[in-house]
Structure 1
């Protein structure tokens, strides 16, 4: 599901969960635990042709409202654990980073990409954004956030670079070494100063997230509506025909 390899001052977390690294409650909990348990810099990467293709939509349909409520809470915990990890974080995007997988990458301080497609496609299946995801996207992409989020499309690595979703492109064989090297370089700086600067940079996003203390009730309603479930079903059927 998730493997951890320590390389000096860097913990490499590799998603190995099914064919496309789909995000479910179990994987999200494992990611949250791994990130919060380490005091090292973190590199997050995937396996095969995917970094993570996003939420496991079949589990959403099968589990109904109880599972969806649990999933949304797990997504927010994971995104915030990565976003607020006090040490450097680098996403080594080895392949497709779609929807929630894209948000996971955007939660990192730096993002490298070697192949695949990347984008925020949630609105294409009628799925609204949890506040934590939306504010992390806004922080990472700035004025481009609306274009990427509302466009609901995935582009290739050159498009991802042009839109600011990634900071650097690499060849597949050089992706992980480059990501570890960058994380090591960042980790060599004063941990206390890095932590403080990161907290200061993230303060507006975290304030907006914490302002929704009542929970994302409207988001949950959107995820569990008949219209959204119908759109998810149609999207899964279209994937099955490919």
Structure 2
């Protein structure tokens, strides 16, 4: 599910969960525990051609509203734990970072990418955006947050670099070595100064998240609504058709 490799002052958290690193309650809780339990610089990466394809929509579709509410709670806890981690955090994006997987990368201090697509495609599926995720995205990419979120499109690495979604492009072979090099460099700086700088930079985002006093009730209601479930079902059916017939034109799928 989650493999931790320690290299001196740096720890690599490698997502190895199913074929696409989908975020479910179990993986989210494992990530939160690994992040909060570490005093090292962290690198988060994935396996194969995927960094993380986002929330496990099948679990939402076939689960109960209780599971969906638990998922949203775990999702916000994990994002905030990563965003608040006092040591350096880097996303080594080895492949597709879609929807919640993109937010996972944006919650890190810096992002390197070697392949795949990246984007905030939640609205294309019909699921509302949790407040913590939205504010972290706004912090990471500023004025481009609206275009990425409302447009709900995924982009290639070159376009992601142009948009400021990622800070550096690498080859697949150099991705992790370069991330290790950069993480070690950042980890060598004063831990106190680094922590205080992050707290100062993140304060407006933390205040915006804390200002939502209803616990994202409207978002939770949107995720469990019948219309949302129908849209998720349609999106999963379209995905299954593409996997079954990858060479077909869009009109044939």
TM-score calculated relative to the size of structure 2: 0.95
Please tell me whether residue 35 in structure 1 is matched to residue 35 in structure 2: yes
CA-to-aligned-CA distance 1:199-234 (integer Å, 9 cap, x gap)? 000000000101113200000111111111100000
Which residue of structure 2 aligns with residue 10 of structure 1? 10
The 5 Å alignment of 1:177-192 reads 177-192=177-192
* Count of aligned positions: 242
CA-to-aligned-CA distance 1:137-191 (integer Å, 9 cap, x gap)? 0000001111111110101101111111100000000000101111111111100
Mapped to 1, the partners of 2:143 and 2:236 lie a distance apart of 32
Mapped to 1, the partners of 2:98 and 2:64 lie a distance apart of 22
Mapped to 2, the partners of 1:193 and 1:120 lie a distance apart of 32
Mapped to 1, the partners of 2:101 and 2:64 lie a distance apart of 21
CA-to-aligned-CA distance 1:92-134 (integer Å, 9 cap, x gap)? 0000000000000000000000000000000001111110000
Instruction: Report the 3-state secondary structure (helix = DSSP H, G, I; strand = E; otherwise coil) of the residue aligned with 2:63.
Output: helix
The 5 Å alignment of 1:141-160 reads 141-160=141-160
Which residue of structure 2 aligns with residue 59 of structure 1? 59
Instruction: Report the 3-state secondary structure (helix = DSSP H, G, I; strand = E; otherwise coil) of the residue aligned with 1:189.
Output: coil
Please tell me whether residue 174 in structure 1 is matched to residue 174 in structure 2: yes
Mapped to 1, the partners of 2:196 and 2:227 lie a distance apart of 44
The 5 Å alignment of 1:208-227 reads 208-227=208-227
Once the two structures are TM-superposed, the CA of residue 62 in structure 1 deviates from its matched residue by 1.0
Instruction: Report the 3-state secondary structure (helix = DSSP H, G, I; strand = E; otherwise coil) of the residue aligned with 2:23.
Output: coil
Range 220-229 or range 132-141, more displaced: 220-229
Mapped to 1, the partners of 2:239 and 2:20 lie a distance apart of 13
Instruction: Report the 3-state secondary structure (helix = DSSP H, G, I; strand = E; otherwise coil) of the residue aligned with 2:64.
Output: helix
Mapped to 1, the partners of 2:15 and 2:197 lie a distance apart of 28
Mapped to 2, the partners of 1:93 and 1:103 lie a distance apart of 12
Mapped to 2, the partners of 1:219 and 1:187 lie a distance apart of 37
Runs of 5+ unmatched residues, structure 1? none
Mapped to 1, the partners of 2:179 and 2:213 lie a distance apart of 35
Mapped to 1, the partners of 2:221 and 2:214 lie a distance apart of 14
Structure of greater Rg = 2
Mapped to 2, the partners of 1:217 and 1:53 lie a distance apart of 25
Mapped to 2, the partners of 1:209 and 1:69 lie a distance apart of 18
RMSD: 0.5
The 5 Å alignment of 1:25-104 reads 25-104=25-104
